[in-house]
Amino acid sequence: MYMSFRRYVVVSFLLLLTFSHATANNLPDFTSLVEKNSSAVVNISTTQKAHQQSVLPEGFEFPENQPYSDLLRHFFGGQGQIPRQQETRSLGSGFIISEDGFLLTNHHVIKNADEIFVRLQDRRELKAELIGSDERTDVALLKVDATNLPVVKLGSSKSLKVGEWVFAIGSPFGFDSSVTAGIVSAKGRSLPKENYVPFIQTDVAINPGNSGGPLFNLDGEVVGINSQIYSRSGGFMGLSFAIPIDVALNVSHQLKKSGHVLRGWLGVRIQDVTRELAESFDMDKPHGALVAQVIPGSPAEKAGIQVGDVIVAFNGENINRSSSLPPLVGSANITNKAKVKIIRNKKAKVLTVTLEKLPEDEQAIAKVKKNSKTNTTLGMSVKDLTKETRSQLNIKKYGVIVDSVGSGAASKAGIRPGDVIMQIDGQYVKNTDHIKKLANEISDGKFISILINRQGNPIFLALKK
């Protein structure tokens, strides 16, 4: 019995060693990939000269024929001002994409720089020319005067899969050629105020100074540009975001050609379709981009897109989440007509849209004011809109403003005081009498959609009576 137990222990130990060895052998080896690509990754530093002046008290005059008078004028100037020049430096990373000296990095790395310097792995430091940069995608294209430079191999982010191994090379905190590795955590992430970039999320350790550096796959191809981290401490916390290389290359080609980026514009405000909203629209499952607002005079309005439409495909690309639509529209060729597939009144329909150039400001946001009150059966009280409020919100005919919300359907749906209710179950609300009529017609136990305007932002909510 004892010998059998010993034999069991020995066999189990050997099996454990074999399994551990096999598991270790299955882990990726980054050494050859790093050796091959690190020479094409550079450190980027910038200088910014800020002129500051301190003004002496008004009416102050330098004393004549006194000791140090000339010295005071030299430092303080004839106008009683002190010229100061402050030089600041920022550090980031970048990578060479052509042998004749073109490089990619982040816009925020070189923003407001007076001078840009690129330090290569062979310790050469070259002054770089800014060809162009794009704040919306956080991409910048630089050029140094050199030839026969080492270059990275460019891949495609479209073939990336969640769970795939990736690694980064950069200069976190100024430490050149630092290598970190991890996996792809998610694709197509939409970050606040970054609607035109479907970010790659990874758990690769990225810190200040990594910005602008390349993200590689196991084939040694660049699949992204490391751009942002989510952090409460200022350092790495497991969430890193990279710009897909396909997006970056599209931007860099336009910057190289014209110095600026041209984006398509549809002219809609959109939101995700929740499970409850999907039920209210009689959809099998939540998907697509729900149109909460159509901007007057926009390509969407001209094409016949309406509030309440659900955009499920754009130029043949399926829209699963609303965040998928802006990058597709932004990268579309505005000289070609686009096909937009929508669901309206439970039926699929394809519209043809002629996109336009994305304007700087799509719509001004207005604030809400209040007047004349009535109660509804939804647990809230509402008021008619004044002419002034309609003008501020650019609302011509419809809508009532929520004055207060008690317990009931409105509260559960997320309606707040100050919201302007524009639609109930697809019907525009004319006034307080009309909303009371519509509320009484809602069937019990069934979700219906409500379109509100919250501080200038259109939002669909799902309400069940």
Give the separation between CA 181 and CA 169, rounded to whole angstroms: 9
Name which of 325, 142, 151, 139 is nearest 224 in CA terms: 139
Tell me if 346 sits within 8 A of 282, measured CB to CB. Answer: yes
> Is 138 an active-site residue?
yes
CA gap 306, 268 in Å, rounded: 9
Which own/partner pairs from 439-444 qualify as long-range (CB within 8 Å, at least 24 positions apart)?
439/376, 439/377, 439/378, 439/465, 440/377, 442/378
* Element spanning 15, H or E: helix 2-26
Q: Which residue is catalytic, options 178, 211, 227, 252?
A: 211
19 CA to centre of own chain: 43
70 belongs to the catalytic site:
no
Residue (of 412, 427, 416) closest to 463 by Cα position = 412
Of 107, 133, 134, 138, the active-site residue reads: 138
- Rounded CA gap, 305 and 26, in Å? 52
Residue 211 annotated to the active site: yes
Helix (H, G, I), strand (E, B) or coil at 362: coil
DSSP 323-361: GGHHHHHHHS-TTSEEEEEEEETTEEEEEEEE-EEPPS-
- d(Cα 450, Cα 3) in Å, to the nearest integer? 75
| Distance (Å, whole) CA 417 – CA 454 | 9
How far, in Å, are 169, 219, 250 from residue 156 at the CA level?
18, 11, 12
In whole angstroms, what is the distance from residue 44 CA to residue 210 CA? 10
What's the rounded Cα separation, in Å, for the pair 72 and 89? 31
Given the residues 39, 108, 177, 272, select the one marked as catalytic.
Answer: 108
Q: Quick one: how many helices (H) and strands (E) in the chain? A: 11, 28
Catalytic residues: 108, 138, 211
